[in-house]
Structure formats: C-alpha cells, structure tokens
Structure 1
C-alpha cells in the first residue's frame, strides 16, 4: 500500500480554464434560464416569464447545491448537453488536449482520455455523464468531441490540518475546520492513516474547500498513460504513519 495520495487543484486557473458554458439537464433548461435572465436584466421580462424564471432558478439552484455539496446526483438528472454562451468567442472552445476545465457554476468537465482511465477505477458513488457542446442561440453542435461532466459524490475527512502546509483557514470563520488551498507543494498535505482503509480512488475532503484527491494507484495509471503531474495539477500528499 502506497504512503501517498494526490491533491488535484482543478480550481486553479493555471491548471484548468473556465468557459462560459451552461448545462442542460432533464430537470432544467440552462438555455431558457440564460435568455430569460437576459430579459430580466433588460427590464423586458413579463410577469409570466418571471414565474418561469423563478421555477427554473429553483431547480437550477437545487442541482448546483447538490453538486457543490458533493451529493449523489441520480444519473437521470445529470447534464445531457452543454451550451456555449453567445458573449464568448465560439472559436474559444475547449481544446482537444485540455484534460479538464470548469464551466459556469464552477462545474468540472473532463475530456475523453483521462475519463477512459479514471472510469476504470473504484469511484464509489462518483459518476459521469457524456455531453457535447452546442451553440446556445442556434442549438447547432459546435464540436464532435465528447466531454464528461463529473458528479463527485465520495466525501471523507482525512486532512490533518495541524501538520499540513499550503492551506489556510477562512479569515471570517477561523474557528471552523474548513481550510482553503493556498500554494500547496509536494508533501505539504498530510492525510490521516485511515485513508489506507478505503478502496475509493477519487474523493473530496470535507475539510478542504474544492478539493479533489486521487489515490496513488490512479495517478500512476494516469502517468503511465502519458499525463504528467503539471498537466493534472497534482501535488503529492503524505499519508501519516502509525
């Protein structure tokens, strides 16, 4: 059993680009939400449209909260399409070699190559939905490249805050156990030895904001496939010894 795990800092702009893209699920239409919001901002929204907006926003917020809280989103409720906003240059689509990227709402999306490896490992409740990118105005498909929207649904508490570096507490609630990533380097993060007892290969730590941890066995498989540490935004973490 390895004495290491890896932290993926996917929230860093140096690691993953962010695109103005909205999601569509069977439960809510991000396209309709986008255009009705525009009408509201231009003060041209009708009373009936305002009611529609409130309903869609409620469903959208419910989905977003579930995703941000690392809750399991049932497969039938996962995104089915991505739509590029019109205020962004359409030539500025994610490139085929982008490993993963963020979209409006902070959602994480990855391309097919890492997905093919990661999906072979033990992800527990974490799962994906395949999506393509479309033009939000014409509904035309903009790329034939498949992407994978991830629902991270495995959460643990392995962070040893007292012995870790490169993280900080919130200045507003310093008494809370939650920490934020702040310039982490290899071997800065110390995890409790209990992490060795789980068989899950990808998880979020409840006490480290926007954290995504990979098992060493998963990372070694990604390395073997040609990815490198910098591309993946990885920092090696030390597992505390008994």
Structure 2
C-alpha cells in the first residue's frame, strides 16, 4: 500500500521540518522528489540524504513568492504527479502590532506562494489528465489563536484556496486537500523558543506541548504519514477536505 513508484513529487520548503519529513518518506515509497527551497543548502542536505538511502531527488533554488522564479522551475518538469505546498512563514502578533510589512511578507509567501505553485502546476496536471495537490494549512485557519493575526489570515486563505481549487478541477481529475497541524516539534519551534524565551525554554516547551489535549507536540513524521495517505492512490476518493492533525486541539480543548 501507499506506493509512489513512478510518481514525481514537487514540494516547497522541503529542506527542514515537516517538508523534510515528507520528502524523506515519499522518497522511501518510491517517488522522485523535487525540492523547491529558498534555502538551497538545506534542500541539498535533504537531497543528499535521500540519495544516500537509494532514492531519487533534486534541489531547486526558488522563491515561491516570485512567480517568474516558480515558472522557470516548473518548466523543467515533464510531469508532476504530486504537488505539496508546504513552504510557509510565521508571525507572532495581534492586529495592533502587525505592520503592513508583516502582512505583505506573510501574504507573499503563504498565500501568493501557494497560488504561484498552483498556477504553474495546473497546465502540467491537466495535460496528464490528473494529479494530486496537498496544501499545508493550520488549525489557525479554523480556530481563534491569540497573537497570530497575520498567520491565521494566511492559513485561512490556504484552506479556502484548497476548497475552490478542488471544486474547479474535479473534471480534470485533480484532487486537492489540505492538512491542518497543531504545534509540531520542528527546528522552527526550537528557534522560536530560543529567541523569545531564552531564560525559560523548558518551561515554555512544556506549556506549548500541553496546549494539545494529547499532551505533546506532533512529530514531523506523523504529519508526513498523513500526507502520504492523502497523496496516494488509496485516497483516490478524497478531495476538497481539510484534515486536522492536532492532538485533539480543535475538538477537545474545552
């Protein structure tokens, strides 16, 4: 089950965290992995690990916020069976301490970046008479979270784009879903704690972990496993859905 042999994956932000976990797992399942990254060194590191384990992978330097850059990369692919829009950035702040520059930065990566990749991949998938798209949303798309004004805005847009795109391309045999994680223990979390809470990292880590009713953060590999299912042929009847993977955060935090 869940074989990706002869499948071509394009994933954005595959150099670390969730994107890296997805890249490694999909390669193990037989996919040819193409990583689009602003941080090419991180992408190359993931690619080298995949190749060392006998898989196929390539890295491409790409700023997903730049449509021309995205188009140039996608022009190099003869086919794309799976697109995963994983690249994203965060911002901490409510309305009053979110600047115009903050909004623009979040919009350009999280929203426009997703749009740019959808725009580039659609003709390729239409020509192939099918494909799978998976977008990375967040629990912040559907529940109110303190001090995440800009980030929540962007992930709400990702969820809405997922539904709209899934509806529009049903007849083209293109499936589109999104995943909404709660907190995931990635290098981003460690960096966030080191920057904002240098004197009580362990206490804040425990607090963030406890905000999920299950009592811990997710592992990137757990997100990757859900991604694998949704992008596999076994999920052929699944489209236009948002999948929370949240340790009970949405339904059990009462």
Higher strand share: 1
Q: Which structure would you say has the larger RCO, counting Cα contacts within 8 Å and 6 or more residues apart?
A: 1
Question: TM-score, with normalisation over the residues of structure 1?
Answer: 0.30
The structure in which a higher percent of residues are helix is 2
TM-score normalised to structure 2 length: 0.29
